Structure 1
């Protein structure tokens, strides 16, 4: 038996050393989507940039659309880091929520990715519903937590849609600081505990 027989088999498409991860593929794809745009970026090119076999990308993400969705999720998770947003003084939570959303959407790279409007809107909707909403409900707690969190996410989703995805001229014309000033009071109201209502009956007398 020679030394070659003792050498471990090399996995096809994987670089030596640390095996590739989903994150490394997403980062390679993000760079190519920004450089070439969605249409001109191929899975083969992403595979080459990440140093993996294209079949591995198909296995993890299913399609280019699925890979793009993960890239968008990665961007959202970095900018709208829920732990960071929910941390700190609860009184300033509305400010942090608006700053996170406007900071993400004012970023030139992220805006470039969102030219794929339908896919971008779908990813943002899923992130708001499955990540931010669930964590807000847990953070707020209490009997009306779901209603309050839903009101917050509705305001943020409206901001994203009417300022960035399908802009209303009046809202799009505002600076980020002006948009925050307009919407923070609405978020404060949405986060405020709902007063208990007591049912009253009329006797008719």
Structure 2
């Protein structure tokens, strides 16, 4: 096998081959089973070449699925910073991603493809589980972290579905302030594991938010 080291050879051509192979691998084997090393072996380059072009597996997934920005990377940035502003940062990151004209089309296409194709649905589900739910759970820590992370993902999914997939007029008409007012309390309650939004919005751990902003 002819492998390269250091700066990859082939430029755009190598990058295109990596993307083509990665998409095939993701759809065939799933997100978890697809590795940078396996993709590199299929292309005939060193794994470092894949890392050079895409940085990480979730970066490769986003590029292979034609996502110009990495949702998991945006989430990681939202989780950083003052815990008190967590809910606002997460909602802002979600809205910012989906309002980006260059990203909204590919995201909608990926969501619709997942609903129509079991292979895409499986891969997308694995991606969301590992790169969104798992990140939330790791950040939250403490009792029922995964349960709380799933609940938070469901609240965010409801916002995305109503505003960007179904495009409900009442949802698309919401301003940023109104989105925070409508979705902030349920997101905070989900993160905290509360039964109602009247308790600590994102308690249970000193790393979580203590209010919705």
Pairwise TM-score range, normalised by the shorter structure: 0.5 to 0.7
Question: What TM-score, normalized by structure 2, do the two folds share?
Answer: 0.58
* Offset of residue 153 of structure 1: 0.5
Q: What's 1:155 paired with?
A: 155
Q: 1:167–1:78: structure 2 CA closer, same or farther, 3 Å change rule?
A: closer
Q: What's 1:87 paired with?
A: 80
Which of residues 17, 21, 24 is equivalent to 1:62?
A: 24
1:78-130 alpha-carbon deviations (Å, 9 max, x no partner): 67523311111112111111001000000011123245252377476544322
Q: Which runs of 5+ in 1 are unaligned?
A: 1-10, 25-49, 196-205
**Contact (CA 8 Å) 1:149, 1:191: kept in 2 or not?**
yes
**Contact (CA 8 Å) 2:23, 2:64: kept in 1 or not?**
no
- CA–CA distance in 1 between the matches of 2:66 and 2:154? 19
RMSD over aligned Cα atoms: 3.6
Q: 1:68–1:156: structure 2 CA closer, same or farther, 3 Å change rule?
A: same
Q: How many residues align?
A: 155
* Offset of residue 132 of structure 1: 1.4
1:23-75 alpha-carbon deviations (Å, 9 max, x no partner): x7xxxxxxxxxxxxxxxxxxxxxxxxx23396554433328989986444754
Aligned pairs (5 A) from 1:114-193 = 114=107, 116=109, 117-119=111-113, 122=121, 125-193=125-193
Q: 1:115–1:92: structure 2 CA closer, same or farther, 3 Å change rule?
A: closer
Q: What's 2:7 paired with?
A: 18
- CA–CA distance in 2 between the matches of 1:78 and 1:53? 21
1:133-163 alpha-carbon deviations (Å, 9 max, x no partner): 1011111111221221111000001111111
1:154-185 alpha-carbon deviations (Å, 9 max, x no partner): 00011111110112221111123321221111
- CA–CA distance in 2 between the matches of 1:169 and 1:158? 15
Question: What TM-score, normalized by structure 1, do the two folds share?
Answer: 0.60
93-102 or 116-125: bigger deviation: 116-125
| Relative contact order, higher structure (CA 8 A, sep 6+) | 2
Q: Which runs of 5+ in 2 are unaligned?
A: 29-59, 116-120, 196-213
